[in-house]
Amino acid sequence: MNSISETYRPADLCEVHLTDTFWSKYTDLVREVVLPYQWKVLNDQEPGAPESHAVRNFRIAAGLESGEFYGEVFQDSDLAKWIEAASYTLAARKDEELESLIEEVIGLIEAAQQENGYLDTYFTIGRQDKEWTNLYECHEMYCMGHMIEAAVAYYKATGRRRFLDIMCRCADHISDCFGPEEGKMRGYPGHQELELALARLYEATGEKKYLELSRYFLKERGKAPNYFIREWETSRQRRTFKTGELTERPDLYYDQSHCPVAEQKEAVGHAVRAVYMYSAMADVAGKTGDEELFRTCRTLWENVTARQMYITGAVGATHQGEAFTFDYDLPNETAYAETCASVGLILFAARMQRIDMDGRYADVIERVLYNTVLASIAEGGKHYFYVNPQEMWPEASEKNPDRKHIRGSRQEWFGCACCPPNIARLLASLQKYVCSTDGRTLYLHLYLSGDLDIPAGNGKYSVKVRRQSPWSGITEIRVDGVPEGKGQIALRIPGWCREWSVRINDRIQEADVQKGYLYLKGVLPEDSIRLQFDMTPGLIQADPRVRADAGKAAVQMGPFVYCLEETDNGDNLSALRIDADTAFEKQTDAGLSDEVPMIIYNGYRTEEWPEGESLYRPYERREKRAVLKAVPYFLWGNRHPGEMQIWTRI
């Protein structure tokens, strides 16, 4: 492998002005509905929502109010993610009211910060003697990490340094406490997040020590003797502060400290922790040129995306520990598939793409965005899935405790409210995932409509991308300017796309696809590129080692995975079988929002048995013809509650 580096710079938020009607519905939702709503929740001003207390915790820590800490040990991170998302919307569009709201919160954060830079309200409110004593469970570095990400986002959006300086002081304090040097603690975060935040802080400030600290945390993790075990052994009688229960012996697989990070080959344990860590690993590998670490990232990327990822881009097969299980174990009925884990997978993909320009990273980003991310947020924007069902049988969720975590309707907010603000910050920063450049070539990943002004070399690319909708398959790209008179544009050909055509100024262009990108050389200003992807719906199968999907197929159109719902197909979806020779018909007037096409195809339904038949009887295939009607997975559960299934027998 050649020496590695972060060759491909993703667009800054301010370099991309999105005009995509499909996505702006969601990004507008974030700005107009989600952020104001979340702000109310964080301030306990939303009637009906469970108590958050997040802002009050800061007021108490700042001495502005008296009271007790309330919430999860990671309650601070809800506020941090909100500031991060709000900052992204500021980068896209100035909003003085929002800005002054954030300034006010920053003042609160500053007041809650301790003299030495420490910032975590859970400990500051009455538990200062316990700081850093339970890294395994207590999330203080996780919260500080999210706050650092928020500070970087706010700094990049506004140019104001105050919050950044606050969080630099916090990072400096962490650096004073942890590290390989004599007298420092050799610990690392129980929930990875700070590692990637420090890499962003390094990017924003140029201060190498933040990158070094991130690198230290990653290199130290999982070394023997294990820090968390020592922590647990030396304070065995200590209890988790919140519940008053005895701390259990740490599960090292759970937080990926079972062996040194560089030796990990399979994704295990808590899925969000895992993908956040892999993201930080890619950051550090790219920024330090660490080839070994990058090889590990590649191995883990392959493991996650080629062996442990649902067709919707969801990851984490089990509810127990919200965790990865093992290769090809992707049960549909009991899937956990947490929204945050998929958001983390996008973070990981984007970092890999900085080092290695390969279409498979954007393939995964696209898969996650158009399926899991969109599905997790209700059309109204105020209801969310935390767990993303890959199959839904309402009666089973109610009556079989093994499936009780699978819910058919999105919820308002959660006791553990990690997912909604995570979706908000992702949707508010979609611009980051649209294109990159290596200074010479402009790489287009996702064909969201928008105006791109991307500095490259000594000039910049000015490009207008227009598409009708994500299911039209047609993108028009108008080149207004290229650096140094002649440019190169690389167009991603999605992994799902079997046929495509590219015309430049109405002439068909022949070009090879290399690692998922079609390279157009000699692009000139005023060039007009028309890209057409075949959007014929088709059947997809899973690797035969995925037992849960054996003998089954899913329907996909473009990046959209489709599913069957009870409301269109009757109950007992397991009785349906796809006719392998079926044609597919798109029905755009099916009454779904945004004129999303429904897909109609042929199949069979097993005939019901007469009442009174015994449960088991001699085999005889008795089916009748059936018309199957599929809707995009991301829209499921927005009409009537009922069954849903992605994989159907064939």
| Structural tokens at position 550 | 């054996």
114 makes contact with a copy of itself (CB under 8 A): no
Task: Figure out which of the listed residues 128, 501, 572, 593 binds a copy of itself, where binding follows CB under 8 A.
Answer: 572
532 versus 541: smaller Cβ distance to a copy of itself: 541
* The pairing of beta strand 517-523 with beta strand 576-578: unpaired
Contact between 390 and a copy of itself per CB under 8 A: no
Residue with Cβ nearer a copy of itself (518 or 555)? 555
Among 333, 453, 568, 594, binds a copy of itself (CB under 8 A): 333
Site for a copy of itself contains 625 (CB under 8 A): no
* Among the residue ranges 171-179, 345-353, 503-511, 572-580, the one whose residues contact a copy of itself (CB under 8 A): 572-580
Query: What minimum distance in Å lies between the beta carbon of 589 and a copy of itself?
Result: 28
In the set 143, 168, 297, 418, the catalytic residue is: 418
Nearest-approach distance from CB 578 to a copy of itself, in angstroms: 9
First-to-final CA distance of the chain: 43
Select from 4, 309, 430, 493 the one that contacts a copy of itself (CB under 8 A): 309
CA-wise closest residue to 623 among 577, 555, 588: 577
Which is it for strands 487-492 and 441-444: parallel, antiparallel or unpaired?
parallel
Which one of 56, 59, 173, 307 is in contact with a copy of itself (CB under 8 A)? 307
Of residues 176, 587, 609, 640, which one binds a copy of itself by CB under 8 A?
609
Residue 257: count other Cβ atoms within 10 Å of its Cβ.
Answer: 27
Residue 258: CB minimum distance to a copy of itself, A? 13
State the burial class of residue 420 (Cβ atoms within 10 Å of its Cβ: 0-12, 13-18, 19+): buried
Q: Could you say whether residue 239 binds a copy of itself (CB under 8 A)? A: no
Minimum CB distance to a copy of itself smaller for 218 or for 271: 271
Both tokens assigned to 230: 């020592």
265 interacts with a copy of itself by CB under 8 A: no
Q: CB under 8 A: which stretch of 35-43, 68-76, 436-444, 567-575 binds a copy of itself?
A: 567-575
Least Å from the CB of residue 470 to a copy of itself: 19
Binding a copy of itself (rule: CB under 8 A), the pick from 1, 225, 615, 625 is 615
Task: Reply yes or no on whether 497 is catalytic.
Answer: no
Paired residues of 42 in beta bridges: none
Q: Is 182 a catalytic residue?
A: no
Name the token pair of 226. Answer: 């294990």
Q: Quick one: 132 or 253, whose CB is closer to a copy of itself? A: 253
* Beta carbons within 8 Å of 433's beta carbon, 6+ residues apart: 10, 346, 350, 362, 365, 369, 445, 446
315 near a copy of itself, judged by CB under 8 A: no
- For a copy of itself, the binding residues in 397-436 under the rule CB under 8 A are 399-402
Query: Which lies closer to a copy of itself via its Cβ, residue 156 or residue 307?
Result: 307
| Closest distance to a copy of itself from the beta carbon of 404 (Å) | 9
Cβ closest to a copy of itself, residue 204 vs residue 553: 553
Under the binding rule (CB under 8 A), the answer on residue 570 touching a copy of itself is: no
Do you know the residue count of the chain?
650
Distance of closest approach, residue 280 Cβ to a copy of itself, in angstroms: 25
In the complex, minimum distance from the CB of residue 458 to a copy of itself, in angstroms, rounded to a whole number: 39
- Under rule CB under 8 A, residue 108 binds a copy of itself: no
Site string for a copy of itself, 347-386 (x = CB under 8 A): -------------x--------------------------
Residue from the set 273, 319, 382, 467 that interacts with a copy of itself by CB under 8 A: 319
Strand partners, 328: none
Q: Which residues contact 407 (CB under 8 A, 6 or more apart)?
A: 385, 387, 389, 397
> Based on CB atoms, which residue is closest to a copy of itself, 353 or 449?
353
Rule CB under 8 A: say whether 264 interacts with a copy of itself: no
Give the Cα separation of 60 and 83 in Å (integer): 19
Q: Smallest distance, Å, CB 586 to a copy of itself?
A: 18
Rounded Cα distance, 435 and 562, in Å:
27
Residue 345 as a binder of a copy of itself (CB under 8 A): the answer is no
DSSP one-letter code for 11: P
Site pattern 459..478 for a copy of itself (x: CB under 8 A): --------------------
Closest CA to 268 of 260, 257, 279: 257
Interacting positions 491-550 with a copy of itself (CB under 8 A) = 495, 498, 538-547, 550
Q: Return the DSSP state at 129.
A: G
User: What number of CA atoms fall less than 13 Å from residue 194's CA on the CB side?
Assistant: 30
d(CA 272, CA 386): 12
Contacts by 329-334, CB closer than 8 A, 24 or more apart: 329/547, 330/390, 330/542, 330/546, 330/548, 330/549, 331/548, 332/390, 332/391, 332/548, 332/549, 332/645, 332/646, 332/647, 333/390, 333/391, 333/393, 333/396, 333/403, 333/406, 334/402, 334/403, 334/406
- Residues 364, 339, 630, 578, CA torsion sign: positive
Q: Which two tokens stand for residue 227?
A: 């820090």
Query: Does the protein bind a copy of itself through residue 25 (CB under 8 A)?
Result: no
Out of 575, 579, 585, 586, the residue judged to bind a copy of itself by CB under 8 A = 575
Q: Decide: 379 and 593 in contact? Cβ < 8 Å.
A: yes
Please provide the DSSP assignment of 33-88 as one string: IIHHHHHHHHTT-STTSPP--HHHHHHHHTTSS-----S-TTTHHHHHHHHHHHHH
If binding is defined by CB under 8 A, does position 243 make contact with a copy of itself?
no
- Looking at residue 440, the DSSP 8-state letter turns out to be S
Should residue 305 be labelled a site residue for a copy of itself when binding is judged by CB under 8 A?
yes
Measured CA to CA, the distance from residue 563 to residue 642 in angstroms comes to 12
Q: State the catalytic residue, choosing from 193, 322, 379, 643.
A: 322
Question: Cβ closer to a copy of itself: 148 or 387?
Answer: 387
Binding residues for a copy of itself, rule: CB under 8 A, are 305-307, 309, 311, 317-321, 323, 325-326, 329, 331, 333-334, 360, 393, 395-396, 399-402, 495, 498, 538-547, 550-551, 553-554, 572, 574-575, 577, 580, 606-609, 613-621, 649-650
Active site residues: 322, 418
